[in-house]
Structure 1
Amino acid sequence: MTAPGPPPGPWVARAARYAGLAGAVLLTVAGYLGGALPDTPLGATPASIWRTPDGPATLTCWLVGTALLVGAWWSLRGGTPSTRWAYVTAGLWALPLLVAPPMGSRDVYSYACQGWTYADGVDPYAVGVAAAGCPWVDAVAPIWRDTPAPYGPVFVLLAALAVTLGGGLTGTVVLLRALAVAGLLLAAICLPGLARAAGVPTRRAAWLALAAPLVGVHLVAGAHNDAVMLGLLLGGLLLVIRRPGLPVALLLAGALLGLAVTVKASAVVVVPFAVLAGMPGRYTVRALLRHGCWLAGGLFAALLVTSTVSGLRFGWVGGLTHSGDSEQWTSPPTAVGFVVDYAGALVGRDPRAVPVVRAVALLLLVGVLVVLWWRAWGALRGSNDARRVARVEGARVEGARVEGARPRVVLHGAALALVATVVLSPVFHPWYATWPLALLALTAVRTTWFVLPVAVAAFLALPDGTNLARFTKAPGAVAMTALLLTLTVKVLLRIAHRRGPTSRS
């Protein structure tokens, strides 16, 4: 079991709570001054934003508010005074952002137009929102106006429902934000049960997963559909961990995971680990197939029903190919491709390496996912021997510990699978870091290695949706590549160090 850090003193906790609240209020002010409002175009550069009438106040409120929110969250990363305190504080920080205009991204307008396209009888997987004639197309970021929807049929249906009930752009955005908040509430309900199953302090897990600045800014204020995906994902995992081996539970868990996939396809990498969580007793190939078929049945049923009922079938799979149209150095494979292109330009060549490196990264991702699943399977198979030893020696406590290790192994494997997906994907946006954040909060012993990148990502976007990576392409790509090389060398040295004593003995 992961030992919690000592609870912070009352003054530290109180200071963090109200510093974060002040930060959320400042971010809301920045949103009204220069957020992603429908009639506000993206800024050409940060300097041009500064020169607008409200530019200095906007950027000042944004940067100070982000710093306060990040600092308060960081200061309590070891744990809060109690679980209730963590929930109350996370909710308190979310209140100003609930009434803020969209900020940090203009994706909510893409959602609205994709929902309008479907509600108007046009296939959103066949045409972009501009060609479909969406009346709100001017609010959509230019890069996404001519691309088909990259989201599954469940979210398209939800977006169409928001359009139908909303009656206009403002009402649609409000309902889309309500959907995102509902996803977060579902995640918040599931977190305590998952934390107890994994042996992690709930007060730490809830704080890291719910109070993170990216959650408030991008999932609440930005109304990103990642919140819906995370809620369904955690719901499916909790069900399969609570009721392993029960066919009805496995079917329902598979259905929840299938719904998560039909919101955002990236959720699919968690499914193989959920199969491991659904296996009670001994881990054998026969048990894997038997219980895996129940969960897969629920998943495929969700995919087939939603694709058929919506009338969209599987056209959404083709839309995924356009998700990488944006090229930014915040994606490690894209950064490496940029550096190769820069090196080629120095010798008069044009390698056009970005698509090649991205393809290699996706192949590498498949290999990494297989290795992570195989390691989890091996660890759980090894528990079979531990159970036999426990029974022979009458060690009931040890047997309980072995059984309790199952959720930790499964959830940590799923967390690392999401980390690999984020790192090796062709594109990265700050809110993508929320995918693995919840599962890492439930399983990681050390927190700095994933809390620090999340804190840095909070500074990558401006309130109107301008991504700062656009203006730091070359230095950012070189820095990201250097960081990758450094981390690779460290990992290889650590592996060599671990194998050294074994080979000598």
Structure 2
Amino acid sequence: MRRGDQPRWLGFCGSALLATATVAGSLGTPRWFTGSAALPLAVGVGGMGLVVLAWALLGRLVLASGDIAPGPRALRSTFLLWAAPLLVVPPLFSGDAHSYLAQGEIAARGLDPYAVGPNEGLGAAAKLTQSVSGYWRDAPSPYGPLFSGIQRLIAQLAGEQQAAAILLHRLIALAGVALLLWAVPRLAARAGVSAGVPLWLGVLNPLVLWHFVAGVHNDALMLGLMAAGTAIALSAVDETVQWWRLSLGVVVIALGADVKVPAVVALAVVGTALARRMGGRLWHLVLAGGAMVAAVAVVSAVVSAITGLGFGWLGTLGTSSQLNSWMAPTNWLGFLGGGIGSLFGLHLTQPTIGAGRIIGYAVIVCGLAVLIHRQLRGRIGDLQALGLMFAVVVVFGPVVQPWYLLWAVVPLAVCLPACRARTVLIGLVGVFAVLLPPLGGEAGELVLGYLGGLLILAVAAFAAHRSQPFRLAGPEPSRELQETRSARG
């Protein structure tokens, strides 16, 4: 068995274990397996840990480079192998997919998804409404007109078959992942690096498997369109500006923004790259930036007109920020202030969170301005600017979810050299991959589930350590060194 095959099949076993646990947990059978939520949760967490371990072991081979490193084709096939068991599971790690179904049904009934939530549009007793998290039952859709049109089409095609609707949404997410698999090697070529590390860190990582394949998040389509459009657009401003290719890339990025608005960050990078190609002066930046704004406005107007959904989505872009995300650093001061205030009978949580968010927005504006200036002057590359811009938006934004990290990971995976920053990024991916459990449960069940998962992972890690192929997963010594060692022996 080749060295790359051990982590490859270990990851498949972990993915299959996760899928088995979650399917059994959702079906409620057999009794011996699902008598307590802690048992399927432990098996699921153990499967997650095996995938993360396999990803790390595969990374040793990829980062080692040379003859032992798997190539892009092997990495793509490994991704397909790991993703295969997750294609049959119910949506994991969050209930956003159920919100997609409810919003699509609202639009299919001829109602405005940007004006009513599931409670009002479908009725509080409706099955679709009951499956939506209580946080969002009264909230209108926060997504762009392209995705709302897709939601409506899926609702019309699937009818009352929720399983079929989930499958169609998963196919949309997989289309986004396919765009990533197409775009990342082309972005790597532009950065002058081989595609191995970018594919391993940017696409093959557990966050993509958990939240794009299993979780069915529309961020997959947004990020896929953004990456593909960026690859096309930046290739058009290398030496001489190829206007048709640039226009195509800008349109594709704008379509990504019509799924979720953060994709517009890529237009800032493309506009700055165009301004630098035009001469790099301030008025070039203003001209190119105005063209990007006009392009996204025209594309959004066309999509809104074609779908017939209008421009109500412009008023609901902040819907997601209604949730006080515990992962968002801008909310931490509010939680701290609220806790201290409660000791004195004061209600300070929301006012303090509001102040923290204002500070966060100010930091985002200033941070983006600094990065655009540095990119315009050629002090940082286009892809580095894109990754850092997304990092600023995520860290200082009002809401942080584990899959938001991928907005920055994909471009940074392409451009970061072998340095401490890349090591930190790899560590963050590993940590964020295990932050959320695949299944819900009471506090005690979650604790027992994670302890059981750690036990499964410890056994697998011990077996991997004892395995000769894993222990020799680093670079092989050269033939000359082997001959020297043999002579000394």
Aligning the two structures, in what range does the TM-score lie when normalised by the shorter sequence? Answer: 0.7 to 0.9
1:158 partnered with 2:140: no
2:470 maps to which residue? none
Show the 5 A alignment for 1:307-322.
Answer: 307-322=304-319
Secondary structure at 1:86's aligned position in 2? helix
1:273 partnered with 2:269: yes
Hey, what's the Cα distance between the residues in 2 that align with 1:369 and 1:286? Answer: 18
2:43 to 61, 66, 76: 61
TM-fit CA distance, 1:237: 0.5
1:82 partnered with 2:62: no
2:387 to 408, 415, 418: 415
**1:265 corresponds to which letter in structure 2?**
V
TM-fit CA distance, 1:345: 3.8
TM-fit CA distance, 1:84: 1.4
1:199 to 177, 187, 192: 192
Hey, what's the Cα distance between the residues in 2 that align with 1:366 and 1:148? Answer: 27
1:151-193 alpha-carbon deviations (Å, 9 max, x no partner): 0010000111111112321111110000000111011111111
Hey, what's the Cα distance between the residues in 1 that align with 2:345 and 2:177? Answer: 51
1:366 partnered with 2:360: no
Segments of structure 2 that go 5 or more residues without pairing to the other structure are 63-68, 448-489
1:32 to 23, 28, 36: 23
TM-fit CA distance, 1:222: 1.1
Hey, what's the Cα distance between the residues in 2 that align with 1:340 and 1:104? Answer: 29
Show the 5 A alignment for 1:265-414.
Answer: 265-278=261-274, 280=277, 282-285=279-282, 287-289=284-286, 291-292=288-289, 294-346=291-343, 349-352=346-349, 353-379=352-378, 409-414=381-386
Contact conserved, 2:104 with 2:152, CA < 8 A, in 1?
yes
1:480 maps to which residue? none
Contact conserved, 2:140 with 2:319, CA < 8 A, in 1?
yes
TM-fit CA distance, 1:293: 5.1
1:45-78 alpha-carbon deviations (Å, 9 max, x no partner): xxxxx99614233111111111111122123335
TM-fit CA distance, 1:467: 11
Contact conserved, 1:183 with 1:227, CA < 8 A, in 2?
yes
TM-fit CA distance, 1:295: 4.2
TM-fit CA distance, 1:86: 1.1
TM-fit CA distance, 1:95: 0.6
TM-fit CA distance, 1:440: 1.1
Contact conserved, 1:253 with 1:298, CA < 8 A, in 2?
no
Hey, what's the Cα distance between the residues in 1 that align with 2:76 and 2:33? Answer: 39
TM-fit CA distance, 1:347: 5.5
TM-fit CA distance, 1:94: 0.6
1:461 maps to which residue? 436
| TM-score, length-scaled by structure 1 | 0.78
Moved more, 331-340 or 176-185: 331-340
Count of residue pairs brought into register by the alignment: 423
Identity of aligned residues (%): 33
2:219 maps to which residue? 226
Moved more, 74-83 or 173-182: 74-83
TM-fit CA distance, 1:34: 2.6
Moved more, 214-223 or 306-315: 306-315
Hey, what's the Cα distance between the residues in 1 that align with 2:442 and 2:401? Answer: 9
Hey, what's the Cα distance between the residues in 1 that align with 2:365 and 2:141? Answer: 24
Moved more, 315-324 or 150-159: 315-324
Hey, what's the Cα distance between the residues in 2 that align with 1:272 and 1:93? Answer: 35
Distance 1:336 1:411, change over 3 A: same
**1:171 corresponds to which letter in structure 2?**
A
1:317-360 alpha-carbon deviations (Å, 9 max, x no partner): 22122211222321111122211222334556443311211221
Moved more, 429-438 or 188-197: 429-438
Hey, what's the Cα distance between the residues in 2 that align with 1:311 and 1:83? Answer: 41
**1:33 corresponds to which letter in structure 2?**
A
Hey, what's the Cα distance between the residues in 2 that align with 1:409 and 1:254? Answer: 19
**1:250 corresponds to which letter in structure 2?**
L
**1:169 corresponds to which letter in structure 2?**
Q
1:354-382 alpha-carbon deviations (Å, 9 max, x no partner): 121122111211111111111111226xx
Hey, what's the Cα distance between the residues in 1 that align with 2:55 and 2:278? Answer: 40
Contact conserved, 2:41 with 2:439, CA < 8 A, in 1?
no
Show the 5 A alignment for 1:244-283.
Answer: 244=237, 245-278=241-274, 280=277, 282-283=279-280
Distance 1:235 1:207, change over 3 A: same
Secondary structure at 2:317's aligned position in 1? helix
Contact conserved, 1:70 with 1:455, CA < 8 A, in 2?
yes
Hey, what's the Cα distance between the residues in 2 that align with 1:448 and 1:34? Answer: 36
Hey, what's the Cα distance between the residues in 2 that align with 1:62 and 1:162? Answer: 29
**1:368 corresponds to which letter in structure 2?**
G
Hey, what's the Cα distance between the residues in 1 that align with 2:121 and 2:36? Answer: 34
Hey, what's the Cα distance between the residues in 2 that align with 1:74 and 1:416? Answer: 24
Secondary structure at 1:142's aligned position in 2? coil
Hey, what's the Cα distance between the residues in 1 that align with 2:336 and 2:428? Answer: 22
Hey, what's the Cα distance between the residues in 2 that align with 1:291 and 1:375? Answer: 16
2:468 maps to which residue? none
Hey, what's the Cα distance between the residues in 2 that align with 1:83 and 1:416? Answer: 25
Hey, what's the Cα distance between the residues in 1 that align with 2:411 and 2:441? Answer: 29
TM-fit CA distance, 1:437: 1.4
Hey, what's the Cα distance between the residues in 1 that align with 2:289 and 2:323? Answer: 36
Hey, what's the Cα distance between the residues in 1 that align with 2:119 and 2:399? Answer: 23
| TM-score, length-scaled by structure 2 | 0.81
TM-fit CA distance, 1:282: 4.0
Hey, what's the Cα distance between the residues in 2 that align with 1:120 and 1:311? Answer: 13
1:14 partnered with 2:10: no
Segments of structure 1 that go 5 or more residues without pairing to the other structure are 1-8, 41-49, 381-407, 473-505
TM-fit CA distance, 1:225: 0.2
